[in-house]
C-alpha cells in the first residue's frame, strides 16, 4: 500500500515512520482520513494496539 498520497513532506515522513514502527499512535484525524481514503470501516484502525518504547529503537 502506498501511503505517500496520504502523508507527504519531510515533517510527515518522521510521523509516518513513528506510526509504522508503533512508537506513535494514530490520531483521530488520521483514522478518519485513512477510513475515507482507503474505504475502511472505522472499527478497523480503531482497534487498540500496543506502542513500543521509542527510546528502545
What total of structural domains would you count in the chain?
A: 1
Residue 34 lies in a domain: yes
**Confidence band (pLDDT; 50, 70, 90) for 3?**
low
Q: Which domain holds residue 25?
A: 1-44
Residue 17 lies in a domain: yes
Burial zone of 16 (CB within 10 Å; 0-12 exposed, 13-18 middle, 19+ buried): middle
Residue 53 lies in a domain: no
**Confidence band (pLDDT; 50, 70, 90) for 51?**
very high
On whether the CB atoms of residues 51 and 24 are closer than 8 A, the answer is: yes
Average pLDDT for the chain: 80
Q: What is the pLDDT of residues 5-48, one digit of tens each?
A: 555 566 777 888 888 899 999 888 888 888 898 898 988 888 88
Residue 23 is predicted with a pLDDT of: 92
Quote the pTM value.
Answer: 0.63
Q: Whole-angstrom Cα distance, residue 57 to residue 41?
A: 31
Amino acid at each position: 500500500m502506498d501511503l505517500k498520497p496520504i502523508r507527504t513532506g519531510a515533517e510527515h515522513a518522521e510521523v509516518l515512520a513513528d506510526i509504522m514502527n508503533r512508537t506513535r499512535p494514530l490520531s483521530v484525524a488520521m483514522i478518519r482520513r485513512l477510513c475515507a481514503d482507503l474505504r475502511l470501516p472505522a472499527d478497523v484502525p480503531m482497534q487498540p494496539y500496543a506502542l513500543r518504547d521509542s527510546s528502545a529503537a
